[in-house]
Amino acid sequence: MPRVDRGEGAWLQTEHGRLLDAISSWWVITHGHRHPRIIAAIKDQADRLDQVIFAGFTHQPAEDLARGLIDIAPKGLSHVFYSDSGSTSVEVALKMALGFWRNQNIPRNRIIALEHAYHGDTVGTMSAGARGVFNAAYEPLLFDVARLPFPRGPDTLAALEDMAKDAAALIVEPLILGAGGMKTYPAELLAKMKNICERHGTLFIADEVMTGFGRTGTLFACEQAGITPDILCLAKGLTGGALPLAATLCTPEIFQAHYSPDRSRTFFHSSSFTANPIACAAARANLEIWREEPVRDRVAGLCAMQAEGLARFQDDRRFESVRCLGTIAALDFKVSDPGYLAGRGPELTAFFHARGILLRPLGNTIYVMPPYCVTAAELDLVYDAIGAAASQFGG
């Protein structure tokens, strides 16, 4: 296992040489490693206040960040709850949804989640996620959810229509299911699912932990469907990927349902490092970068480069489901035995490493999700390596 010593832009320096970080260090690094503004903000904040209890106290970076997030989030989200990972941002969302109904004495507590979903690795988020080899051992601890078929069309919508009647909330990864295999579905279906939830009063939770901060071509994936979720989960790219921080945004109605002199209605969730000042300062710098640098142009450029990079595989019979959503490109090795490449995943990963590329296929799905600073020449290296892998491993 190579030891990594430095990061710079799209590159990692290991003890054995350079690696192009084509998966953004597990989808977190957005602008590139060590963006100067984020690093400066971290250093500056570290010199002022490292950590403070966030119950009964507040601080400038957390307040600025909350305001900044409400400004850029889909209209209608008014409150921000901080935590420290994608999983906790989703746990918080699920707890908010349950509390919303319980505090009104309405017995709605079922969660609806998508087939192939991934929402994290805590017990609650595993429950909402697809069941499989990764969580089989913990199955006895997981709670039941209503499982909605992967959004394909009328069948999914009809099923949701039925499930939504008395459910507490639907949770979705908007437009693309990440860990489930970079499976995409159209914005139109997302908008229709939101509409059905609205008609039944079911809360709509958008888990934008992966899709947030530009990945799908827009700042948030929900924008492409023109929807505002009742609850929005953010993490990975929130600090540009430099530090762990998460935020769960919600509507005034959800806030109000928990805001009461009656202590039993409190939103009970706290953790030691809620709104850590250094992490908030890093995230505040990230929002400044989005405001002041041409990030949207970079993202648009990367979307075009990804589509172009994939084009050479469009008619390649060794691949199928060649797809691109914004800055995320993915393609599936065609194999007769689907377990074949999953078993050879480590070998495939090692093949890419040997060529100076950090890629980490999900089963037989190869995906490319680089930081936005990546150049066309660098992406060429990635697609050349995928072509070479096809020659070596393809059927």
Ligand X SMILES: *Cc1c(COP(=O)(O)O)cnc(C)c1O
What totals of helices (H) and strands (E) does the chain contain, helices first? 13, 16
Q: Does 206 bind ligand X (CB under 6 A)?
A: no
How many Å separate Cα 375 from the centre of its chain? 23
Phi, psi values for residue 101, rounded to 5° = -80, -45
Cα angle: 383, vertex 134, 209; to 5 degrees: 60
Q: What is the largest CA-CA distance in the chain?
A: 66
One-letter amino acid of 250: C
Tell me the backbone φ, ψ of residue 32, rounded to 5 degrees: 135, 160
Contact flag: residue 209 with ligand X (CB under 6 A): yes
CB of 380 to ligand X, least distance (A): 27
Using the contact rule CB under 6 A, the part of the chain among 16-24, 79-87, 146-154, 333-341 near ligand X is 79-87
Q: Which is nearer to ligand X, 73 or 209 (CB)?
A: 209
Compute the distance between CA of residue 346 and CA of residue 316 in angstroms, rounded to an integer. 24
Of 14-22, 43-51, 203-211, 215-223, the segment contacting ligand X by CB under 6 A is 203-211
Q: For the purposes of burial, counting CB atoms within 10 Å of the CB of 168, is it exposed (0-12), middle (13-18) or buried (19 or more)?
A: buried
85 touching ligand X, by CB under 6 A = yes
The residue with its CB nearest to ligand X is 86
- Cα 370 to its chain centre, rounded Å, is 14
> CB 369 → ligand X: shortest distance, Å?
11
The interface mask with ligand X, positions 259-298, x = CB under 6 A, is ----------------------------------------
Residue indicated by tokens 């990804």: 306
Cβ distance to ligand X smaller for residue 202 or 239: 239
Q: Of 202-210, 218-226, 278-286, 294-302, which segment contacts ligand X by CB under 6 A?
A: 202-210
Alpha carbons 53 and 49: distance in angstroms, whole number: 11
* 119 contributes a contact to ligand X by CB under 6 A: yes
Q: How far is CA 191 from CA 196, 206, 222, in A?
A: 9, 12, 9
Tell me how far, at minimum, the Cβ of 36 lies from ligand X, in Å: 24
User: Residue 203 or 389: which CB sits closer to ligand X?
Assistant: 203
For residue 239, give the nearest of 211, 279, 273, 205 by alpha carbon. 279
Indicate the residue type of 122: T
Number of residues that bind ligand X (CB under 6 A): 14
50 class by beta-carbon count within 10 Å (0-12 exposed, 13-18 middle, 19+ buried): exposed
Instruction: By CB under 6 A, tell whether 207 contacts ligand X.
Output: yes
Minimum Å gap between C-beta 389 and ligand X is 24
- Choice from 24, 45, 87, 216 touching ligand X (CB under 6 A): 87
Distance CA 118, CA 223 (A): 21
Q: Which of residues 156-175 bind ligand X (CB under 6 A)?
A: 173
Q: Among residues 87 and 365, whose Cβ is nearest to ligand X?
A: 87
Task: Specify whether the CB–CB gap between 358 and 2 falls below 8 A.
Answer: no
Task: Give, as one character, the DSSP assignment of residue 33.
Answer: B
Q: Which stretch binds ligand X (CB under 6 A): 15-23, 117-125, 217-225, 347-355?
A: 117-125
Task: Pick one of 235, 278, 283, 303: the residue that binds ligand X (CB under 6 A).
Answer: 235
What DSSP string describes 145-167?
-EEEPPS-SHHHHHHHHHHHTT-
Q: Which of 118, 313, 333, 372 binds ligand X (CB under 6 A)?
A: 118
Among 178, 212, 241, 361, indicate the residue that binds ligand X (CB under 6 A): 178
Yes or no: say if 74 and 227 are a contact pair by the CB < 8 Å rule. yes
Q: Which of 120, 180, 326, 361 binds ligand X (CB under 6 A)?
A: 120
Span of 41-49, 83-91, 164-172, 213-221 interacting with ligand X by CB under 6 A: 83-91
Least distance CB 86 / ligand X (angstroms): 2
Task: Give the Cα separation of 146 and 382 in Å (integer).
Answer: 39
Q: How far is the CB of 196 from ligand X (least distance, A)?
A: 21
Chain contacts with ligand X (rule: CB under 6 A): 85-87, 90, 118-120, 173, 178-179, 207, 209-210, 235
